[in-house]
Structure 1
Amino acid sequence: MDRESARNWFTHTSDLVTEHIDEPEGRVRLFYLSTMADAKVVYSELIPKLREICLEESEIAVIAQHLGVSSSNRVFDDGEAIERLLSGHIVIQVEESSYGLAFPSDGTVGRNIQAPEIETVVLGPQIAFVEELNVNICIIRKYMSTPRLFHERLSVGKTIPMNVSMLYLSGTADEENVNTVRQRINDLELDTSLDSTILAQHIADNEKSLFPTLQQTERPDRAIHGLRQGQIAILVEGSPFALLGPTTLLQFFQSPDDYYLRWSLATFNRLMRTFAMILSLILTPIYVAALTYHYEMVPADLLLSLAQSRSRVPFPPLWEALLMELIIELLREAGARLPTKVGQTIGIVGGIVIGQAIVQAGFTSNILIIIVALGALSSFIAPSYMIGSTIRVVRFPMIFLAGVLGALGIVVGFSFLASHLLRQTSLGRPYMYPIYPVRFSDWKDGFIRAPLSSLSERLKFFNPKRISRFDRDRAKEKKDIDE
């Protein structure tokens, strides 16, 4: 690549820098983007070495030998040179040479590794993924020091290509799952900025479904646990979230913290999350259905309190409930978009002030505020942000059906929901596993979390090549030091 071709490619780019090393001959040229390459490496290390080398010899092979540049960093055409420049490399070109050299130098600014912000950690490593793809792969390799961890680099997009990495544990991950992910990524034709959340929508089995079929996590320990189970991890350059697949609905209610706790506490937490999600779906619809069509379901003492509470409310229970749910969602969205400290204040103070004002104005009853608040809190218990948002959206049609058809509407809503979930797949695998198809042997790490010594086999859902993780009998042996 000469100076003219470089300027043609970067016509409107002012950060392209060209340096002539062997003045006045000018046979050895150096190209780099000042916004991508590290200036200290260029002017403190590379240029002084090049000038010293060029005093004796200016052949490209000699320069590569003295700089310690491997053959993999050779550049043979303009397209490859442009790609290296955009990734932060320094391209060295010698006139009349058949190839050039790409010297690594990354001067881009990245975020330091911090604790997870969305998936908070109670117990376990206080570390989260960042926007640097190589750093994220390094984090995973640090905790999985095995040559069986395979890493494939893929490229998505033709106009603006983005780097995507696929990781899986060879000998454990199913080849069919690996081929499915590889094919879906290679078949993509995108011309937009890519993030793992966008990629998940494109390669999902059913992108029109409200329910996510690929796990998104910022926690390396969750990704590593998935890799050990036989899942496939997908990392995208510029995204601090990894994708895991295939996955089941139950896994969205599980947290890596479950494995750091005693099995009894972990089981209680999982059952509580499942109960909270069901409660979030049916609590407000039951209120609407009972007050609209089924007064006989409410005990007499409670019915009297409900009548007194709603005596000033001019709206029917359906519109009253929809109004309160909408206000809760507005407060939640406002709190998420505002700065952290202000958002917390708006969420707490706004909820109290608006709730009290609405009751005093007669727009709603005290009991409905309690019910809506319980439903909202229940949806926030989900460890996954995506599944929590899905539950909050599904709640609205459930409330509408309850207001129109009563208890029959709730039954119809759950029937449609169950039918939809049973038809969903994740990379071709059943989404409702182990509920459907029924596999009681995998329930020990589903609704509950059995003792670790009992989890000697991987979930059959992933179709792993190696079912056994360790010897169960030996894991249960307790030996004293003198035995």
Structure 2
Amino acid sequence: MRKKQQLSKKLPLTLDELEQSLQEVFTNNSDLLFSRYQHYGKKFAVFYIPYIVESGKVEEFILSPLLKREMKWTNLTILNEIPLGSGEMLTSLDEVLEKVVKGQVFIYIEGEKKVISYVLLNKEKRGLEKAETESLVLGPKIAFTESLVTNMNIIRWKIRSNDLELEELVVGNSIPADVRLVYMKSVANEEDVQTMRQRIQDLDVDFVEDSTVLKQYLEDNTVNLFPQFNITELPDRFAYDISQGKVGVLVENSPIGIIAPSTFFSFLESTEDRYMRWQGGSVFRILRFIAMFFAIIVTPTYVAIVTYQYGVIPTQLLISIGESRAAVPFPPLLEALLLEFLIEFLREAGVRLPTKVGQTMGIVGGIVIGQAAVETGLTSNILIIVVAMSALASFTFPNYLFGTSVRIIRYPFIFLAGIFGIMGIMFGLCMLIIHLLRLTSLGRPYLVPLYPLRLKDFNKSLFRLPLQFESKRMEAYRPKDAKRFSKSEAMKKRDIDE
């Protein structure tokens, strides 16, 4: 295990002194492989951590050339003749300690003032697979992986332009992680790029586990329930947002990309909306808005009406509700909370169990427990329909974190409805809107284009128009170059022989 310390000794050293110095840091000798060799009367050592280095390349490209040469080695001849392009010379043992855990192999000739290093990192990674959390019917299915190099390769393949910038940054004090700030130099707003860069550079943490954790550190309001930065596992979604002038962040060992700035409405957008005709894309986007309203309001409205405002219910429906609730011993508030918690239990169990078992658990558990609850008088059958509608609506959102926020918000609304009725729901909605009006994402208003009002951006947030009408990027993000293509040329009628 590596200790947080610096080596007091300085080069040049004997091999014994070098090995002793390294063992002061790597207390477990199996962590560091330190091999000694002698060649034409010259002693040298090759050392590295075996399980993070490609051992085959060490044998083929380093040890074999070193031992077969029929002349004495020097640092300069090693760099010139060993066929690896990543070689460099280090003058400090502290630099060696910093890079040995990054998969580098070191060669030290006894008595020299420099250590030669080569990058031979053995990266364990999975292959490119289909996206799991953002399922699509149309469009590319490929997803990011845990390898930053692979993810950068995918983005370069998606955006084949010299204008694409992949700026290298590092996060983490004790365990550094490579980060890439991704943006289009001629499109992205410089203020957004600088803000994101500054937040990453100013971050003072020992370790960042994943990009979703980094996102929480970087957001404008860290105690707010709603996500302010979008995340995606789809390179296609990531590349499209970058081309529109947004700023992206990729993190080593994370299959998720961060996108900022984001608006409230961007969490209701799906990449699939662009791959179908504009009528279908608009309908499904509006359907998600309605689903969001249903997910928040339906159950609280039932509780409020049955508890206080039952006069608004039609007589026939009121009789049906009365008959179904006749045997229920709980007030509507407790009855609704019981079913809501039951749905959440089933959802959480389905997620944690293996895929096939989880699907069976959700279907069978919902049917059996729901039917049993009605027959035993714990709840009414009408409330089961209401809660099921609310649960289905909350699962329609493309962004998982946004859907989780909506489900959590539903509970305060249920309490307000059970205590104050319809007035409680209206109060909750007013407070929710005020809260959303105060939010920002990378300094940009969260509810744009509704607030501040930007009518030209409606077709990029609330609905879709034919592609020839989307000649400009979203003005709310203030891109350097708002124009995507010439609208007049796109709408021009051409003959078949032109």
What TM-score bracket applies, with the shorter chain setting the length?
over 0.9
Match in the other structure for 1:37: 53
1:13 to partner: Cα distance: 5.2
Does residue 4 of structure 1 match 2:38? no
Which digits, 9 at most, give the CA deviation of each residue in 1:162-221, with x for residues without a partner? Answer: 221111110111111111111111111112342111111111100100000011111001
Which digits, 9 at most, give the CA deviation of each residue in 1:35-62, with x for residues without a partner? Answer: 1001211123321122223x31311111
Closer/same/farther in 2, CA of residues 99 and 311 from structure 1, 3 Å limit: same
Match in the other structure for 1:248: 263
1:50-199 equivalence runs, <5 A: 50-53=66-69, 55-70=70-85, 73-199=88-214
**Partners in 1 of 2:71 and 2:39 — Cα distance?**
13
Matched-pair contact (CA < 8 Å) for 2:40–2:72: no
Which digits, 9 at most, give the CA deviation of each residue in 1:437-463, with x for residues without a partner? Answer: 000100011110111111111111221
What is the SS of the residue equivalent to 1:240? coil
1:235 to partner: Cα distance: 1.0
Which digits, 9 at most, give the CA deviation of each residue in 1:379-400, with x for residues without a partner? Answer: 0000000000000000000011
State the TM-score, normalized to the length of structure 2.
0.94
Matched-pair contact (CA < 8 Å) for 1:453–1:476: yes
Match in the other structure for 2:228: 213
Which segment is superposed worse, 385-394 or 293-302?
293-302
Which segment is superposed worse, 77-86 or 362-371?
77-86
**Partners in 2 of 1:27 and 1:478 — Cα distance?**
78
Question: What is the one-letter code of the residue matched to 1:399?
Answer: I
Match in the other structure for 2:330: 315
Question: What is the one-letter code of the residue matched to 2:50?
Answer: S
What is the SS of the residue equivalent to 1:400? helix
Question: What is the one-letter code of the residue matched to 1:49?
Answer: P
Matched-pair contact (CA < 8 Å) for 1:28–1:58: no
Match in the other structure for 1:355: 370
**Partners in 1 of 2:41 and 2:322 — Cα distance?**
96
Matched-pair contact (CA < 8 Å) for 2:295–2:406: yes
Closer/same/farther in 2, CA of residues 71 and 399 from structure 1, 3 Å limit: closer
Matched-pair contact (CA < 8 Å) for 1:35–1:108: no
Match in the other structure for 1:429: 444
**Partners in 1 of 2:35 and 2:153 — Cα distance?**
34
**Partners in 1 of 2:278 and 2:91 — Cα distance?**
58
**Partners in 1 of 2:461 and 2:305 — Cα distance?**
33
Question: What is the one-letter code of the residue matched to 1:394?
Answer: I
What is the SS of the residue equivalent to 2:52? coil
Matched-pair contact (CA < 8 Å) for 2:454–2:476: no
What is the SS of the residue equivalent to 2:463? coil
1:395-414 equivalence runs, <5 A: 395-414=410-429
Q: Structure 1: any 5+ residue segments left out of the alignment?
A: none
Q: How many residues align?
A: 482
Match in the other structure for 1:27: 43
**Partners in 1 of 2:296 and 2:495 — Cα distance?**
51
**Partners in 2 of 1:263 and 1:371 — Cα distance?**
32
State the TM-score, normalized to the length of structure 1.
0.97
Matched-pair contact (CA < 8 Å) for 2:61–2:84: no
Match in the other structure for 1:290: 305
**Partners in 1 of 2:276 and 2:188 — Cα distance?**
27
Matched-pair contact (CA < 8 Å) for 1:21–1:47: no
Q: Structure 2: any 5+ residue segments left out of the alignment?
A: 1-10, 12-17
What is the SS of the residue equivalent to 1:101? strand
Does residue 466 of structure 1 match 2:477? no
Q: 1:452 aligns with which of 460, 467, 470?
A: 467
What is the SS of the residue equivalent to 1:27? strand
What is the SS of the residue equivalent to 1:35? helix
Which segment is superposed worse, 71-80 or 376-385?
71-80
Match in the other structure for 1:367: 382
What is the SS of the residue equivalent to 2:389? helix
